[in-house]
Amino acid sequence: DGGITQSPKYLFRKEGQNVTLSCEQNLNHDAMYWYRQDPGQGLRLIYYSQIVNDFQKGDIAEGYSVSREKKESFPLTVTSAQKNPTAFYLCASSIEGAGANVLTFGAGSRLTVL
Amino acid sequence: QQQVKQSPQSLIVQKGGIPIINCAYENTAFDYFPWYQQFPGKGPALLIAIRPDVSEKKEGRFTISFNKSAKQFSLHIMDSQPGDSATYFCAASIPLYSGAGSYQLTFGKGTKLSVIP
Indicate whether B99 pLDDT > 70.
Answer: no
Q: Of residues B19 and A39, which shows the higher confidence score?
A: B19
* From A6, A43, A92, residue closest to B89, measured CB to CB: A43
Distance from CA of A43 to the nearest CA of B (A): 6
Is the Cβ of A87 closer than 8 Å to some Cβ of chain B? no
Residue A81 has what pLDDT?
A: 87
Do B104 and B2 form a contact (C-beta atoms < 8 A)? Answer: no
Residue B101 has what pLDDT?
A: 58
With vertex at residue B59, the alpha carbon angle to CA B43 and CA B55, rounded to the nearest 5 degrees, is 105
Residue B31 has what pLDDT?
A: 87
**Average pLDDT score over residue span B32-41:** 94
**Average pLDDT score over residue span B9-16:** 97
B102 pLDDT band, cuts 50/70/90, is low
B104 pLDDT band, cuts 50/70/90, is confident
Residue A2 has what pLDDT?
A: 73
Q: Which of residues 94-113 of A touch B (CB under 8 A)?
A: 94, 96-98, 100-108
Indicate whether B11 pLDDT > 80.
Answer: yes
Terminal Cα-to-Cα distance of chain A (whole angstroms): 36
How far is CA B11 from each of CA A22, A87, B84, B87, B88, rounded to the nearest angstrom? Answer: 34, 23, 12, 10, 11
The pLDDT tens digits of the residues spanning B40-94 come to 989 999 999 998 899 999 999 999 999 999 999 999 999 999 999 999 999 998 8
Distance CA A38, CA B79 (A): 30
Beta-bridged to residue A25, according to DSSP, are: A4
Distance CA A16, CA A23 (A): 23
Q: Is residue B116 exposed (0-12), middle (13-18) or buried (19+ Cβ within 10 Å)?
A: exposed
Residue A105 has what pLDDT?
A: 95
Do B55 and B46 form a contact (C-beta atoms < 8 A)? Answer: no
Q: How many CB pairs under 8 A join A and B?
A: 66
Indicate whether B6 pLDDT > 70.
Answer: yes
Name every chain A residue with its beta carbon within 8 A of the beta carbon of B99.
none
Residue B37 has what pLDDT?
A: 97
Q: Give the pLDDT of chain A (114 residues) as one tens digit per residue.
A: 679 999 999 999 998 899 999 999 999 988 899 999 998 888 999 999 988 999 999 999 999 999 999 999 999 999 988 889 999 999 999 875 555 678 899 999 999 998
